[in-house]
Amino acid sequence: MVFKSSTFSLLLFLFLFLLSPTKPSLALKHPQKPRKPCKSMSFYFHDVLYNGKNAKNATSAIVAAPAWANTTIMAGQNHFGDLVIFDDPITLTNDFHATPVGRAQGLYFYDKKEVFTAWLGFSFVFNSSEHKGTLNFAGADPLMNKTRDISIIGGTGDFFMARGVATLMTDAFEGEVYFRLRTDIQLYECW
């Protein structure tokens, strides 16, 4: 074969560059995917738990409890076994009275006797000029930790097929009646 050496060098460079394993989209299997989010958002949601006296304002209620407890008063042993259904307003700031941009709807339950820990399955249902659609969440919430990561397992509408990670932070709480969660959303799969 006859090449001008400079032509050959360029071809070789091109070939190696395009097949380089450090280029994620060209590696044939199990590429290291980029951990840079394709979308980042931050919200607050506000939970007011029914306690027998606040029917008008409550946004959530205990609906299941273990044999040793009931559905009005949180169970002993760090509320182990209490399951709560909620419809909580989502706001852009930490102000409970800000205009909601959607609702956080789903369930949480306390699942450890020795320390406060919960598990969450819920959706953000957006209905604002900025966002229409839903994001679906699932995961463990060891709520005594300053930050907790849960999974964003899917989405619809503006968030069609999204996946990601949400970092939860307890921004405020008042006894067993009110808590406010900051939710930092990072989507890593956008369509």
Closer to a second copy by Cβ: residue 91 or 134: 134
Kindly indicate which of the ranges 40-48, 89-97, 115-123, 174-182 contains the residues binding a second copy, using the contact rule CB under 8 A. Answer: 115-123
Q: Please give the backbone phi and psi of residue 188, each rounded to the nearest 5 degrees, phi first.
A: -115, -15
Cα distance from N-terminal residue to C-terminal residue, the chain: 46
Q: How far is the CB of 138 from a second copy (least distance, A)?
A: 5
Kindly indicate which of the ranges 40-48, 89-97, 145-153, 170-178 contains the residues binding a second copy, using the contact rule CB under 8 A. Answer: 145-153
Among 90, 170, 99, 149, smallest CA distance to 123 is for 90
* Residue recorded with tokens 């907790």: 148
Among 139, 59, 142, smallest CA distance to 104 is for 59
147 within 8 A of 167, measured Cβ to Cβ: yes
Q: How far is the CB of 154 from a second copy (least distance, A)?
A: 3
By CB under 8 A, residue 158 contacts a second copy: no
- Applying CB under 8 A, among 40, 94, 128, 160 the residue interacting with a second copy is 160
Residues 9-68 that bind a second copy (CB under 8 A): 10-11, 14-15, 18, 23-36, 38, 50, 52, 55, 61-68
Residues 78-97 that bind a second copy (CB under 8 A): 80-83, 85-87
By CB under 8 A, residue 106 contacts a second copy: yes
137 within 8 A of 120, measured Cβ to Cβ: yes
List, in sequence order, every residue forming a beta bridge with 104; answer none if it has no partner: 88, 124
Q: Specify the DSSP element, H or E, that contains 39.
A: strand 39-48
By CB under 8 A, residue 136 contacts a second copy: yes
By CB under 8 A, residue 169 contacts a second copy: no
Closer to a second copy by Cβ: residue 36 or 97: 36
